[in-house]
Structure 1
Amino acid sequence: MGSIAPKSVRIGVDVGGTNTDAVAIDFSQQDSPSRGILSHHKTPTTADITSGIETAVRHILQESQITDSQLASVTIGTTAFLNSVIEQDTRRLSRVAIIRLSRSFLRDVKPFSGWPAGLAGILNGYVGYVDGGLQIDGSEEAPVVEEQVMRECQEIKKLGLTSIVVAGVYSPIDKESRQEERVRDIIAREIPGADIVCSHEVANIGFLERENASILNAAILRYARQTVRNFRSAMKRLNLTCPLFLTQNDGTLLESASAAKVPIRTFSSGATNSMRGAAYLSGHKLGSTSAIVVDIGGTTTDVGILLPSGFPKQASAYVTVSGVSVNYSMPHLHSIGLGGGSLVLETDRGITIGPESVGHDLATKALVFGGSTITATDIAVAAGKTDIGSRDLVGHFTSNFLEGAQEKLKILLERAIEQIKPSEDPLPVLLVGGGTILAPDSLHGASKLVLPPFHGVANAVGAACSKVGGTVDMIQSLANQTSKQAREKACEVAIARAVKAGALEGSVEIAEIDAMPIPYLANQLRIVVKAIGDLDLIASLLVAEDEDTGDDDVYTSVESTKIFHDIVVEETPIDHHAYRPTIVRTAQGIPEWLISAIDIDYISDGCYVLGCGGGGSPGPGRLQLLDMLKTGYQIRCVDHSALEDDAVIYWGGRMGSPATTAERLQAHETVSAIKVLMEYLGHSTFAAVMPLEIGGSNGLEPFLWGSDRFYDRPIIDGDFMGKANPCCWQNTLSVHAPGNLAPCSVDSGDGQSIVMTRSTDDPTVDKVLRGAITEMGSLAGLVCKPTTGAMARKHAVLNTVSLSWRIGRAIAQAQANNALSTVGEAIIKEVGGAESAKIIFRGKIVSVENAMHKGHSVGVLTIVEVPSEEVDDLASTSMPAVVTGGSIQIPFKNENIYVEHTDSDGTKKIVASAPDLIAVLDKETGRAVGVPEYRYGYHVVVIGITCSPRWTETERGIEIGGPKGYGYDFEYVPLGKYVEPRSVIMEYAEKEGSNLKPE
């Protein structure tokens, strides 16, 4: 072993729920047949974790005879934190108190909205509200009031809670008042010893997702601290002086002291390591297609996509951890509670396997080892797949039970693969992890099954070969520099941070650049840069000392007392093909659509597609409406024919920056604006409500006002745009009947209201109100001059609530059918077929930039065709795109304006433009990606939908809604032929066997 160079060896350790794996790799020999692997060892994870690490590392140290002087680092990847959340392990999860900072905007959508009920029940300890929060420009919505924080602390102390999250609106851009830090200091003084998590230190902009991530982080902090302490103790007893790292979700390294503070960044590192390990062990020779990595451990199975480049595919805009939406970088994974230690039960509903697991007690609790619990490993032994333990101890299994359990295992794995596959076409499947003995000989959806060498320790291999990263997230002014100079500055900072974290200086490369213009903040650009480099194997890095000595050892003492809860049977999945909406008849015989939770889900997804990138995410509004329906409130929708010609209709929506809706959750701005305008006009009642625009969050707004929680009026199936537009005057009523916006009212939601009594023209209404709204936080509820049933029938775009419902249902069906690769085609079918809509382009977002056009700032989204080594195979039924090769640019002003294609020769051509609809879909989920989510690296599909003739039947309509309305001089060319959406109300009211019934 004398040929081993100093600091050329790295030890990788994976601590799983069942086994602890370790491997030593000499990276100076990585091109050899052995890939430089000097030694590897697998041992059961012990109750105190430390002993398992010591055993595994001591074994490989002895076997390889490497010395401390040859060792560059020890890197640990663990699923322990994630497993605790997936298993809802109450021993390791702390109940969390949340203090929200905002005077006006966080009351309606509660913490834990959209969470799995079981996990929310375990973690939800207390929710308090205090004044605070920021506006989008960084100014304070309200200052923090110390007395309010102290009162909340008293309530938290009464409950005995010590894990606390502080989450304020726009806290990631709070560089001056530092409200979260101030509240943290007050809490620390009032509740000594509390674990306090400030949301801005965990994730970025996107309030609910950031708060969710912070809650998970706070819940696991005590257990994480003890775990890291155990890791360090093992290092000391092994007389190792090299640095100790943990692997993060993106495959980079995190120094152990930092990992103890933000353990959520390591939640999915085990899966990332398994994919990186699979790539390393296979020599990166996967052919021309992607592969699926199935990592079967003792407690969970993680399934991800490994690109031919050898790197895991990263998740796009929508990321969940155990059913909880979060907003930080993670690999695109699907995890299930299946592993070698999974409990196997036979009930009157059939055989169930997992998610409960005996974990690291497999060696004592499984039948084959003399225990009394039937596990998945027992099934594998009984089936002759492995000879571990004693097969005689499972000889009593009946053939029906054994076959049923094997079939259940096969189904669970196949479903997991189907969830992650980009299309119906089969892909190679690489099996890694200690639980590969569970895998059947074949799996539906797999072109072949491959076991790479050393597959049993792929996680540890991936940990050993992890790189070092440096990330910067900063907002820069472009007043005195170009966007290119701002990006270069951010890159320099990211590279410096990577080097400081231990990267070899010459090896650092920029992995990601994410530039995001901030709407309504002139010359401001938010830039996120990630730099990644090789670990400097020579540099002497300092090992951080343990910072605390608390009583967290409680977790060690209770490891052996795990209690298995009754298995919670999930609700029957919704059959999105069989579902029928509920239509009732009023006393007057009018059919009304009673909106259900399923309808809200469909409409929400459809509205975001119709938002054309703008309008803000319907997500918070969806959660608000679902909570209302659960409480018992009713929401009704009617066809336009149900209204008399003189029926009074109140219409409008939220007005302002779409970026604001990511932080300012649903308030009652428009409800208040209606009240203000009713008082001004002397109205005591009205007949119905209607959205200004169906696109984005405004498509759901009238469902709030019209519910019997507020005005108890039906929503009309239609709107005045058929999409979303940047300006309120860009609507079909202003096209055909100008002068009908004023009098109108706006309300900020925090006590400020304005009534604009009259105006010389409609664009002036928008200009004046937008100036006022900028001073009101860049978001307000707008209610325009009430219109009538006759005007709506004549000038509105009809049946657009129905259209959003059909688009959302198409997305849900594609997800259920594993047909996300053709979700664009499914949407096109719903909006009228190939004559009405097109797949414009498929590719990857590479930049989001600011540009000036005629004195106005616009965003520009650039999408390039994906290189062959990154593209997933298209399904055989995929529709050809209008343009291929090269790249496209989409200028946007909140909403997407047009698509310009540049081919490989540099020839440019405009292939679609407003007023036609241009939507960007996330390829992984099928859902729309809006302007606030435009990010580098997302794989997307761009679709175009022909607009309503309300826009094109007059020259004025094209001037207002077409290129000229956005300040561009080229002529509008229709994408196709418009097809009027089918009314859900009329279709299901007339269908035989529908849900039509008397009210």
Structure 2
Amino acid sequence: MGIYRIGVDVGGTNTDGVLLDPSCSPDKGIRAWHKSPTTQDPSHGIQNVIKALLETAKIDLQEVASVTVGTTHFINAVLEKDQNRLAPVAVIRLCGPFSRDVYPAIDWPEDLRNIVCKYCGFVDGGLEIDGEPIGDIKESQIAAECRIIEHMQIKCIVVNGIFSPSDFIHKQEEQVGGWIRKHYPEADVVLSKEVANLGFIERENAAILNACILPFARSTISSFERAVAPLHLRCPLFITQNDGTILPARLAAHLPIRTFSSGPTNSMCGAAFLAKKVNELDKETLLVVDIGGTSTDVGMLLPSGLPRQAAAVTEVSGVRMNFSCPDVKSIALGGGSIVRKSSSSARLTIGPDSVGYDIQTRAWVFGGNISTATDYAVIAHRLEGIGDASLAAVSEESVHEYTSLVTQMLERAIDSMKTRDADIPVLLVGGGAILAPDKLKGASRVIKPEYSGVANAIGAAIAKVSGTIDVMVNTADRATHSLSEDISIMAVDKAVKNGASRETVKIAEMDVIPLNYIANKSRIIVKAIGDFDFSGPISIIPPLDECDEGTTDYEVVLKKPSRSAAEVDRPALDIASYKPLVNSKREWIISETDLEWISTGCYILGTGGGGTPYPHFIRLREMMRKGAVVRVISPEDLADSAIVACGGGKGSPTVTIEKLPANEQVEAQRMVYDQLGYKPDAVIALEIGGGNGLQGMLLGASNNMDVPTVDGDWMGRAYPVSWQITPVALGGDKAHFLPTAIADGNGNNMLLLSGASEKLIERIFRAALSEMGSHVACAKGPCSGKKTKEYVVENTISLAWRIGRAVALCRANNQIDNVAEAIIEEVGGKQSAKVLFQGKIISVERKTVKGHVHGEVLLSASDINNEELPAEFSGKLKIPFKNENIVAIAIDGNGQEEVVASVPDLICVCDALNGQAIGTPEYRYGLFVIVLGIQASEKWTSSRRGIEIGGPKAFGLDVEYRPLGVFRKPRSVIQEFATTN
């Protein structure tokens, strides 16, 4: 029975290995370790390291249970934007008329997009939220696309269908994948649903990155198999994944993106293993600083022993994706970093380029002619007998400058990962740990544990085992919460069956995806992870053969880095001194910076609903880059006789993360104003919250309208229905805006010429909405300038801008822990807003009813760093939502409930890691969040009518509204900056 595990980590400079015996407790089971330079063909280095481990340990080969390899090959290919290792990719979208203005990789860095994304074909297909096809897929269209792609000599194809992760019946992506293999058998096909979950743009991004490295991944993993095969080890070969679990080698060849962050994860998990030897660190949050040959990674290790995870949406090389990765900051500092003295400024610089795996031939200490960080570290530590006369020629002044610069670089990286000013223990690992001083600002202690140089290989050796359950459940008789608990038990059992030790298994991920408009059905995905159980029998899997995917021109040769794999820091915008442009006509000309901040603020003001603004943000930004001008004017500058249009999206926000718009917004406006026979003078957003907060600017900047957007809206937040607006609250329950139109973007349009009330118009459109994909564009009839000034919630675009700027400033200053206070200051101060709760999401229940996402999220008081919370944050917080968050209910230790906030006041949930809003579709188990309460506009709270249609009873809750505080009118950006430009 095998008991030993071999872990190997292939870095850009060194290949590290350990042989671990988990039954040997005094030295934590490390029987042998070895570090050697990474070879040009990394398979040779892997083989050399494993041979050395076996020779040192002198064990029977039959006793080796597994070989696990961690590699940064695949992510480095993306970070370095190496077109020799990145294959061109074509995308086939199953989308019908939708998403065509938001083309693939629209938000990528231009240089990476130009290397990878070569073609996109838009074809019929995709699903509505209820599972019905937007259109049927057609083999003839796919055959035509295959001919085009084959002619372009592109062999990697991504298939991305709208709502494909929820497609269990039609299986459109699977059918299209089969047709591609039929008509273009030489192509590699990546189905987006196999890579990531809901979130059209982010899922497609991940699928494209996965596709572009497939040929290189096959060659690399095949070389790993060839390295192990001659050693006659009868054990499986695994590759480590982003989350610290293992993936069979052949499966990793198909899904290399799952290994992207395995390098930092290995180091973090290895550091957790080593931290247990330092007793006082066993249950303490600490920073892990992993100094390698080309870069340094800094991450937070939680008392659980697991790395702190990044936000719900993460970025790799500027590309947004929606799967979990460890939260790591990388800087271009490593043992092989080249040290230079500039002749012009006489300043010493370190990196970003590195000699990488050539350090043993090119560095001074090894007789080379290039000065590296390792050389200067040797001099600084006065290590005798190493190097030659080159070291003696370095002046004391240069050594001091080097030491100061390394210290500054590490201290900046540490500070950027902390979420508060207090010092925190720092655990140094990696072969380059010698570079670091013994004291660092921001570190309460600097610890360099034994075996720290091979922490990454230790992490690979102890990589965990996972068990995932992905099932359809009936929610008619039992709550989703209860079902999730049962499925969690099944996931734990499966992890144990796969080899995990039961007492170590924990729930790592949980997703609940309702099958909208399919009654009482949900998809629940639960992932459990645990340590490998060496006490039981281990299945011996025959050695893997070479990959059977055919030959490829992609050589498995490490490219000599001309720069570090870590991103080079670029000069940042000086946020504090930035001034928006307001021209002499008192028009605010929106810049890309303004737009980004407004987008951030809109989602926070969306109170969980309104849909993410991101797709609308990148669409509007692209319009601006092509010459569109976005103008915003103050409500007070409207003439009484002005004609003000209004538009926005109507329906479930869950739709908008998948079904990107067609031209429905303009189509709806065109119907209204073609009927009236005139054009509007300005446009106003229906609501500032969520994606609708940008719709006014999108419409105003379009060629069809070209009018300014009013700095305000009809809600001051987001509400689920379009009759919950200030004109109804202040002007009575009649039809205020006629004619009114809706359009679904798929050729289905409705124009209503008359109606009894806004509420009845809403009900009529809602009846149609459920048959039109649960999301349409709505164009409300015109409003006069005089009425607009009477009804408008003023300066809400300004407010969104100020909130977004506050978040950006906190990020830039590494003060995310202060983001709640910064937002509170911008919305009127402590008399107008407060932090309601801080904690972790522990359960989410959702269902879709008549186009709205209904549900409830439950939070448990918790600090992201597992430190003590202020006394007011204890127990649990329950937030029922209907698209938007409705009430916040505190639950104490005795189960007593108290409503601490309710509509029309704003209840905003923000990610504690980055300050971004989290919408109700994105609520998921394990996210650390901050809940803010913000006082609503007096347009809602000053009358009984406003509370009646916008308060909790409008949502069927028997709760009396109590204001959070005193409303403060948002400060106008136009008023503030008109006199300073």
Alignment partner for residue 861 of structure 1, among 827, 851, 857? 857
Matched, 1:445 2:442: yes
Deviation at 1:871, TM superposition (A): 2.1
Separation (CA, whole Å) in 2 of partners of 1:370 and 1:555: 33
Deviation at 1:815, TM superposition (A): 0.3
Matched residue type, 1:593: W
Partner in structure 2 of residue 756 of structure 1: 752
Partner in structure 2 of residue 736 of structure 1: 730
Deviation at 1:855, TM superposition (A): 15
SS of 1:119's equivalent? helix
Separation (CA, whole Å) in 1 of partners of 2:702 and 2:196: 37
TM alignment of 1:747-826, pairs within 5 A = 747-826=743-822
Write out per-residue CA displacement over residues 587-606 of structure 1, whole angstroms, 9 at most, x where no aligned residue.
xxx31000000000110000
Partner in structure 2 of residue 114 of structure 1: 107
Q: Which moved more, 1:523-532 or 1:428-437?
A: 523-532
Contact 1:96 1:126 in 2 (8 A): yes
TM alignment of 1:634-645, pairs within 5 A = 634-645=629-640
TM alignment of 1:142-161, pairs within 5 A = 142-161=135-154
SS of 2:28's equivalent? coil
SS of 2:149's equivalent? helix
Deviation at 1:450, TM superposition (A): 0.9
Contact 1:606 1:808 in 2 (8 A): yes
Deviation at 1:155, TM superposition (A): 2.5
Contact 1:584 1:594 in 2 (8 A): yes
Matched residue type, 1:483: T
Contact 1:518 1:659 in 2 (8 A): no
Deviation at 1:542, TM superposition (A): 2.1
Deviation at 1:149, TM superposition (A): 2.2
Separation (CA, whole Å) in 2 of partners of 1:870 and 1:256: 34
Separation (CA, whole Å) in 2 of partners of 1:412 and 1:341: 15
Q: CA, structure 1 residues 388+443, in 2 after alignment: closer, same or farther (shift >3 Å)?
A: farther
Contact 2:130 2:515 in 1 (8 A): no
Write out per-residue CA displacement over residues 612-645 of structure 1, whole angstroms, 9 at most, x where no aligned residue.
0000000111111221222221100000122111
Partner in structure 2 of residue 223 of structure 1: 216
Separation (CA, whole Å) in 1 of partners of 2:868 and 2:121: 49
Q: Which moved more, 1:726-735 or 1:378-387?
A: 378-387
Cα RMSD of the aligned pairs, angstroms, is: 2.6
Partner in structure 1 of residue 713 of structure 2: 719
Deviation at 1:81, TM superposition (A): 1.5
Contact 2:651 2:851 in 1 (8 A): no
Write out per-residue CA displacement over residues 440-496 of structure 1, whole angstroms, 9 at most, x where no aligned residue.
333332222111221011111111112110223445332355425532553355345
SS of 1:717's equivalent? strand
TM alignment of 1:589-988, pairs within 5 A = 590-683=585-678, 685-737=679-731, 738-739=733-734, 740-850=736-846, 858-866=854-862, 870-872=865-867, 883-988=872-977
Separation (CA, whole Å) in 1 of partners of 2:853 and 2:153: 51
Separation (CA, whole Å) in 2 of partners of 1:289 and 1:746: 56
Alignment partner for residue 366 of structure 1, among 340, 354, 363? 363
Q: CA, structure 1 residues 837+508, in 2 after alignment: closer, same or farther (shift >3 Å)?
A: closer
TM alignment of 1:488-499, pairs within 5 A = 488=485, 490-491=487-488, 493-495=490-492, 497-499=494-496
Q: CA, structure 1 residues 935+987, in 2 after alignment: closer, same or farther (shift >3 Å)?
A: same
Matched residue type, 2:674: E
Matched residue type, 1:259: A
Contact 2:329 2:417 in 1 (8 A): yes
Separation (CA, whole Å) in 1 of partners of 2:726 and 2:185: 60
Deviation at 1:520, TM superposition (A): 5.9
Alignment partner for residue 252 of structure 1, among 245, 251, 255? 245
Separation (CA, whole Å) in 2 of partners of 1:20 and 1:569: 24
SS of 1:700's equivalent? helix
Partner in structure 2 of residue 431 of structure 1: 428
Write out per-residue CA displacement over residues 921-951 of structure 1, whole angstroms, 9 at most, x where no aligned residue.
1010011111111011111110000000000
Contact 1:342 1:358 in 2 (8 A): yes
Q: CA, structure 1 residues 560+282, in 2 after alignment: closer, same or farther (shift >3 Å)?
A: closer
Alignment partner for residue 460 of structure 1, among 457, 460, 464? 457
TM-score, normalised relative to structure 1: 0.93
Alignment partner for residue 381 of structure 1, among 378, 383, 402? 378
Deviation at 1:188, TM superposition (A): 2.2
Deviation at 1:900, TM superposition (A): 0.6
Q: CA, structure 1 residues 900+468, in 2 after alignment: closer, same or farther (shift >3 Å)?
A: same
Separation (CA, whole Å) in 1 of partners of 2:566 and 2:115: 15
Q: CA, structure 1 residues 857+127, in 2 after alignment: closer, same or farther (shift >3 Å)?
A: closer
Separation (CA, whole Å) in 1 of partners of 2:925 and 2:565: 43
Separation (CA, whole Å) in 1 of partners of 2:408 and 2:252: 36
Contact 1:624 1:666 in 2 (8 A): no
Separation (CA, whole Å) in 1 of partners of 2:216 and 2:851: 55
Alignment partner for residue 80 of structure 1, among 36, 60, 73? 73
Contact 1:516 1:848 in 2 (8 A): no
Which segments of 5 or more consecutive residues in structure 2 lack a partner in the other structure? Answer: none
Q: CA, structure 1 residues 666+575, in 2 after alignment: closer, same or farther (shift >3 Å)?
A: farther
Separation (CA, whole Å) in 2 of partners of 1:566 and 1:513: 32
Contact 1:495 1:508 in 2 (8 A): yes
Matched, 1:281 2:279: no
Q: Which moved more, 1:280-289 or 1:656-665?
A: 280-289
Matched residue type, 1:574: L
Matched residue type, 2:714: F
Contact 1:512 1:530 in 2 (8 A): yes
Separation (CA, whole Å) in 2 of partners of 1:470 and 1:542: 18
Contact 1:257 1:546 in 2 (8 A): no
Write out per-residue CA displacement over residues 809-842 of structure 1, whole angstroms, 9 at most, x where no aligned residue.
0000000111100100000000000000001111
Separation (CA, whole Å) in 2 of partners of 1:514 and 1:981: 37
Deviation at 1:981, TM superposition (A): 0.3
Contact 2:234 2:540 in 1 (8 A): no
Deviation at 1:69, TM superposition (A): 2.2
TM-score, normalised relative to structure 2: 0.95
Separation (CA, whole Å) in 2 of partners of 1:168 and 1:902: 41
Matched residue type, 1:325: R
Separation (CA, whole Å) in 1 of partners of 2:549 and 2:527: 35
Matched, 1:540 2:539: yes
Q: CA, structure 1 residues 254+855, in 2 after alignment: closer, same or farther (shift >3 Å)?
A: closer
TM alignment of 1:301-320, pairs within 5 A = 301-320=296-315
Separation (CA, whole Å) in 2 of partners of 1:854 and 1:159: 45
Partner in structure 1 of residue 573 of structure 2: 574
TM alignment of 1:326-345, pairs within 5 A = 326-345=321-340
Which segments of 5 or more consecutive residues in structure 1 lack a partner in the other structure? Answer: 1-5, 875-879
Contact 1:603 1:801 in 2 (8 A): yes
SS of 2:781's equivalent? coil
Deviation at 1:343, TM superposition (A): 3.8
Contact 1:303 1:334 in 2 (8 A): yes
Matched residue type, 2:728: S
Q: CA, structure 1 residues 405+712, in 2 after alignment: closer, same or farther (shift >3 Å)?
A: farther
Contact 2:90 2:117 in 1 (8 A): yes
Matched, 1:242 2:235: yes
Separation (CA, whole Å) in 2 of partners of 1:962 and 1:844: 27
Separation (CA, whole Å) in 1 of partners of 2:942 and 2:551: 71
Deviation at 1:551, TM superposition (A): 6.2
Partner in structure 2 of residue 531 of structure 1: 528
* Number of corresponding residues: 973
Q: CA, structure 1 residues 909+570, in 2 after alignment: closer, same or farther (shift >3 Å)?
A: closer
Partner in structure 2 of residue 877 of structure 1: none
SS of 2:50's equivalent? helix
Contact 2:42 2:556 in 1 (8 A): no
Separation (CA, whole Å) in 1 of partners of 2:363 and 2:148: 45
Matched, 1:63 2:63: no
Write out per-residue CA displacement over residues 41-60 of structure 1, whole angstroms, 9 at most, x where no aligned residue.
11111111111111111111
Q: Which moved more, 1:318-327 or 1:728-737?
A: 318-327
